[in-house]
A = this chain, B = another copy of it.
Amino acid sequence: MSDASIDVLGIGNAIVDVLAHSDDAFLTTNGIEKGSMSLIDTARADELYSLMAPAIEISGGSAANTMVGVAGLGGAAAYIGKVRDDQLGAVFAHDIGAAGVSFDTAKAVEGEPTARCLIMVTPDAQRSMNTFLGASATLSPEDVDPGHIASAAVTYLEGYLFDPAPAKEAFYKAADAAHAAGRRVALTLSDSFCVDRYREEFLHLVETQVDVLFANEDELKALYQTDSFDDGLQALRNHCPVAGLTRSEHGSVVLWGDEVHVISAAPVDKVVDTTGAGDLYAAGFLFGLAHGRDAKTCGHLGSLAAAEIISHFGARPEADLKALASEAGLLAG
């Protein structure tokens, strides 16, 4: 893998987050499922936005957040995703570029505006996401250059890419290109409802194409239609060589060939907003993987990056992840 010029290349829905505080009653009144991601159309986006509290805009997108985390740890990261040539598209492109991630996917010049995710953060720090896919849904196989993919040690794909049909095609093209070049393919299941929508395809993918899987407890259970985390874990061991399975405050479990590691969550003074916790866990883990670190270190790098992101509003790191990881002794050796 030493000949790869990119450590991790992420592909995902390119989204600007619109974050506001809300109470639980707001979720109930507006039919929003707490903690999940719902896809919404233009009319619903306009309606929800008109009802939302004053908000702030921060670039988001699951795989994009992960790539910013990889770059923040000192890794070479690249991103493929679609925005429009509008103001929020410029914001997205600026932010990911300024974070040190290589991003040059052509912007859409017509059609829907840049994707937005309306996120309500409740007092318990949980986030409920309502995504208007907009231009991100027009990502297509043409945006994926096999030579680009071949230059990355790991290609990281969002389950969310299955929602827009052309993006799903791009997903498969990228996975094939990665394997053709002898590289690794990583997948995050993204959301338990997303797993429900595409279970059979995800199962097939995990059994045949995925070298590194990320899932939280709900997603793993949804994949194997079980109520038991351990049953899901045992099923997965037969299917996928490497996995980072996250369990919120209970830490994570890392599968690594025959090894199984149970990793503690990193301490957090106060959980402010869980948006991006899974994305940043993947960032730490993938950075470690691309740099040849062992299973345990990869898990702890994931925990450290996740702890940073949940200690503030938004899913892009505010602290210097590289310095934090160095202080924690996770970059030595």
Interface size class of A (residues with CB under 8 A): 20 to 34
* A to B CB contacts below 8 Å, 24 in the list: A20-B98, A49-B94, A50-B94, A52-B94, A54-B68, A54-B94, A54-B95, A54-B96, A54-B98, A54-B99, A54-B316, A55-B91, A55-B94, A55-B95, A55-B98, A56-B56, A56-B57, A56-B58, A56-B314, A57-B58, A57-B91, A86-B86, A87-B88, A87-B113
Shortest CB distance A21–B (Å): 8
CA distance A305 to B314 in the complex (A): 24
CA distance A114 to B54 in the complex (A): 18
Shortest CB distance A77–B (Å): 13
Quick check: is A53 within 8 A (CB to CB) of the other chain? yes
CA distance A86 to B53 in the complex (A): 20
Quick check: is A130 within 8 A (CB to CB) of the other chain? no
CA distance A91 to B91 in the complex (A): 13
Max count, chain B CB within 10 A of own CB: residue among A54, A95, A98: A54
Main secondary structure of the interface of A (DSSP, over half): mixed
Contact with B along A98-130 (1 / 0, CB 8 A): 110000000000000110000000000000000
Quick check: is A59 within 8 A (CB to CB) of the other chain? yes
Instruction: Give chain A's interface residues, CB within 8 Å of chain B.
Output: 20, 49-50, 52-59, 68, 86-88, 91, 94-96, 98-99, 113-114, 314, 316
Residues of B contacting A316 in the complex (Cβ-Cβ under 8 angstroms): 54
Interface pair A57/B57, CB less than 8 Å apart:
yes
Report the nearest B residue to A49, measured CB to CB: B94
Shortest CB distance A31–B (Å): 19
Residues of B contacting A20 in the complex (Cβ-Cβ under 8 angstroms): 98
Report the nearest B residue to A16, measured CB to CB: B57
CA distance A57 to B88 in the complex (A): 10
Report the nearest B residue to A318, measured CB to CB: B21
Shortest CB distance A132–B (Å): 12
For the complex of A and B, the 9 pairs showing the least CB-CB separation, nearest first, are A57-B57, A87-B87, A54-B95, A54-B98, A56-B58, A54-B99, A87-B88, A53-B98, A56-B56
Report the nearest B residue to A55, measured CB to CB: B95
Report the nearest B residue to A312, measured CB to CB: B313
